[in-house]
Amino acid sequence: MICQQHDLPGLVPGTRHTFNSYHFGQDGGGPHVYLQAGLHADELPGVLLLHRLRRELTVLEQAGRVAGRITLVPMCNPLGMAQHWQGQHHGRFESDSGENFNRHYPDLSERAAQLCREGQLPPRAALRQALAELPQRTALDGLRHALTDMALQADMVLDVHCDSEAVLHLYGNHRHAAEAAVLAGFMQAGATLLCDEAGGMSFDDAVVQNWLRLERQLAQPLPVPFAVTLELRGVADVDDSLAARDSDSLLAWLMAQGVLTGEPLPAPLPPNPPTPLEGVACIVAPHGGVVVYQVPVGRQVQAGTRLAYLLDPLSGERTPLVASHDGYYYARVAGRLVCAGAEVAYIATPHALRQGQLLSA
């Protein structure tokens, strides 16, 4: 295993940030998988999981069982990790720009297509060269650049996040429906949410979109990497027994992909079929209040099922929050004080209900 330290320039003199990537195996013996966690720096279940995976992979590599290549970044966002105000950690948005750490990854496809045509570069090298030509003015630019460059070298990309309160679920592209089903089976993901383009150029979507756009520009099929966001339940699900189970599942998946040697287990069936990301029904609070949940996440619900009620403690009025559609209730917000118009609960349904920008801010 090789540990590489990445240095990011500080915003002002005298400050700097670093993070580590861990590299197992080598090119040529199997696929290259890139895994990162903590891009939203306040989402820690994946940080624990990848820390555990690092220990497991170190032992497996010593036993000669890493056939492909694995790049692991267990805590990938030192900028977000360092953002604290008055006792509260804020890891989703960068404090200087207000930008979501998981949006605005660059579209490299036009320049990469030019480099392929004129410079005769292969697609992967062209995308990396196009990235290298972009200016890096801020620490956030540097972070996005370093993470993107590692992901662009991989055949499979797993960006590990978590939701507020949720069952394990994942986001992917329709192009990789079969690959997503295999991963969802190994991880027993309750929901697999697929789309053609999520909007906002989130990390995993940007990897796929860059390859898809390059494919269109070159008018030739390309080996578009399988890239997903794995939502590792809720923010409070930082737990050794869950991490041990998830680590075993990921190792079984890596074996099935030929990244690790060994007798691969057959892929278990996912608990639910994939559904379109456009089919997510968002249950919205009609007024502010205290939300009291009455049904746990992780079950099929029917339209009209009462999921929670919203209490106005001044009037004493209770407003039922009901499922708007039949579907799989997979996530809800952790904060019990909700504002009027806020999204409170999420149901995966098989039919498109939304279009355009499919991810929250």
The answer for residues whose C-beta is within 8 angstroms of residue 266's C-beta and 6 or more apart is none
Q: For residues 80 and 38, is the Cβ–Cβ distance under 8 A?
A: yes
Rounded to an integer, what distance in angstroms lies between the CA atom of residue 222 and that of residue 152? 13
Task: Summarize as ranges the residues that interact with Zn ion (CB under 5 A).
Answer: 40, 43, 161
Q: Give the residue with the Cβ less far from Zn ion, 43 or 215.
A: 43
Q: Is 340 exposed, middle or buried (0-12, 13-18, 19+ CB in 10 A)?
A: exposed
Rounded to an integer, what distance in angstroms lies between the CA atom of residue 269 and that of residue 332? 25
Q: For residues 250 and 53, is the Cβ–Cβ distance under 8 A?
A: yes
CB of 78 to Zn ion, least distance (A): 16
Q: Give the residue with the Cβ less far from Zn ion, 126 or 331.
A: 331
Q: For residues 74 and 50, is the Cβ–Cβ distance under 8 A?
A: yes
CB of 346 to Zn ion, least distance (A): 14
Q: Give the residue with the Cβ less far from Zn ion, 40 or 332.
A: 40
Q: Give the residue with the Cβ less far from Zn ion, 121 or 342.
A: 342
Q: Give the residue with the Cβ less far from Zn ion, 104 or 213.
A: 104
CB of 238 to Zn ion, least distance (A): 14
The answer for residues whose C-beta is within 8 angstroms of residue 302's C-beta and 6 or more apart is 323, 326
Q: Give the residue with the Cβ less far from Zn ion, 112 or 193.
A: 193
Q: Give the residue with the Cβ less far from Zn ion, 111 or 161.
A: 161
Q: For residues 316 and 330, is the Cβ–Cβ distance under 8 A?
A: no
Q: For residues 353 and 279, is the Cβ–Cβ distance under 8 A?
A: yes
What is the secondary structure of 264-328 as a DSSP string? PPPPPPPSS--EEGGGEEEEE-SS-EEEEE-S-SSEEE-TT-EEEEEE-TTT--EEEEE-SSSEE
CB of 35 to Zn ion, least distance (A): 15
